[in-house]
Amino acid sequence: MGIRLRGAPGFTPERLVAARKEIGLRQQDLAESVGVKRLYITALERGTRLPSPPVLLSISKALNVQPLWLLSAEGDPTMVQLRFAAGLYQREASSVLGISDTLLSQYEMGALEIPEEIFCYTHALYLTNEGVAQKAAKKTLNLNKKTANRP
């Protein structure tokens, strides 16, 4: 029986590597942008570590990709994938949703059927954070362009 890693479910190291190389970033550059050590990025790319919700969101911002794309979601995303893509830990998500940690955990494990309004609200959380991420990325790009154009 293999070791179960804690972190983003469905995280795909190959997509992280492809996105990083596509924009010409070194592991060190990505690590500095995200605020982690280069060895952590190496471990993510090798599949020996999984990112936490905030790290997943920071990586997606730095690479200008959708967080769910890094989770390789096939079909409809799971509630856990939406929560990770929104950059939320379970306690934060349960607080925002107005439900207990235990109830959210049961929904995420499939022990209880997820009410449509809870799933829709979780999806809205992801979309809200996605919009915030896109605005932050555009602002960073604009700042970089202004700095590059200075004499």
In whole angstroms, what is the distance from residue 7 CA to residue 10 CA?
A: 9
In whole angstroms, what is the distance from residue 94 CA to residue 98 CA?
A: 6
Spatial contact of 86 and 57, defined as CB atoms under 8 Å apart? yes
pLDDT of residue 132: 52
pLDDT digits (tens, 9 = 90+) for 11-51: 889 999 999 999 999 999 999 999 999 999 999 999 999 99
pLDDT of residue 3: 53
Is the pLDDT confidence value at 75 over 70?
no
Superfamily of domain 13-148: lambda repressor-like DNA-binding domains (1.10.260.40)
Q: Is the pTM of this model over 0.95?
A: no
Spatial contact of 9 and 84, defined as CB atoms under 8 Å apart? yes
